[in-house]
Amino acid sequence: MGDYGEIFEEEMGRSTVFKDQSKLSPDYVPGKLLHRDEEFRGLTRYFRPVLESGASQRVLITGSVGVGKTALARRFGREFESAGKKRGVNMTYAHVNCRKQGTAPMVIRKIASNFPISVPRRGFSPQEILDHVIHFLQKKDSYLTVTLDELDHFVEQNGPDLLYSLTRPFEESGGPNRMSIIATSFSPNFFDSLDEATRSTFMHNRIDLNTYNAGQISDILNQRVKLAFKPDTVRGDSVDLISKIASRRGDARFALELLWYAGRVASEGKVEKVSPNQVRRAKSKIHPEVRREVLMDLGEHELIYLLALSRRLKISDEAYATGESVSNAYRVVCEESGENPLENAELRSFVQKMEGLGLIDVEPSGGREESRGRDLSISDAPLELMEDVIEKILQRRHGSGDRGGR
């Protein structure tokens, strides 16, 4: 039986590329939100009346997964509290994840936990707890801004009653409404699921977050690399490859997850840098996409060309290979297989087809659009796995006499 103390100390002493892994967590909000200045400015404009005249506000932030809805709301809330203090306004910001706090009582208790209010765990209804919050705000001349994160999921599961009660908590008291709401939603059509009375309280205040492009994701990754990794441990082409993969859906959260997992792969392998192939291995672990059924439909020479690309990338350990180097590698594999190589025009048609199938990525050589050359990459699978799958398909075809066409 192993000595667990020794195992623990051995792992704690293992060399790693990381400096602070927490900076890659979905819960971490950086001091600077890249490519979201205009949206932050929009939130500020909506909430300016709260600080100037005590008017409550309600704003919906929409966008797909990984576009920064939560980070934007949290960063704004932090600045909004600070801005209130500078102006002599007692402002509290509360953030509630409505997927985790999945019932009305849980949401209300989470809001109340931001105040020095004594609330028994049992015996109080959500409305009674909310009344305690309202009384506290009135007594202390304070204001509350609460983010209801993933509110669309909550409403889908529980209906809109909670939102209705939160948008009208001060009506019976007769005092000013001291609660403002930021809601986040995946769907821009979230308003349509609300009744007219509740929908009207938002006054069509909406901020839509667009998906990130590859360049924007690259900026975000480079920002986190400096915070999360030791110097010179993440290669630039690895960041570029992650950006390319994640830009297909504009998801920065997925990009950060890939970066973190690639760092883990590098650390477990006792290497000094995060390389493109470690990114591919991370991708295969998080979202495996060696689509054997697609490979099975490729012709003989298409498979040989893809095999040549896999080998070329594996040897170079680069993110991309030039089209010329892949063509040369293709001729070598043809010679090994006893096949006559096809002309360049046919090879270019292979590239176009496989790019359309999502098997390879194609970029202009040197990143210049005017370049006639093309650089090729495989991003969805480790090269060793891609190579192994293709070789087995070719072996089966040769064994059965099925050459699979061109």
Binding-site residue numbers for ATP are 67-71, 212, 224
Check if the beta carbon of residue 150 is closer than 8 Å to that of residue 192.
no
Here the contacts of 48-54 (C-beta below 8 Å, separation 24 or greater) are 50/91, 50/143, 50/145, 50/180, 51/83, 51/84, 51/87, 51/89, 51/91, 54/143, 54/176, 54/178
Both structure tokens of 116: 């020095």
Pairing relationship of beta strands 58-62 and 179-185 according to DSSP bridges? parallel
Which among 170, 168, 244 has a CA at the least distance from the CA of 213? 244
Q: What is the DSSP letter of 362?
A: E
Residue type, 221: L
Secondary structure (H, E, C), 262-315 = HHHHHHHCCCCCECHHHHHHHHHHHCCCCCHHHHHCCCHHHHHHHHHHHHHHHH
- What phi-psi label fits residue 159: left (phi over 0), alpha (psi between -120 and 50 degrees) or beta? left
Annotated binding-site ranges: 67-71, 212, 224
Both structure tokens of 258: 């890939």
Which among 10, 276, 55, 296 has a CA at the least distance from the CA of 177? 55
Residue with the two structure tokens 């690309």: 309
Residue with the two structure tokens 């992650």: 242
Distance CA 163, CA 122 (A): 22
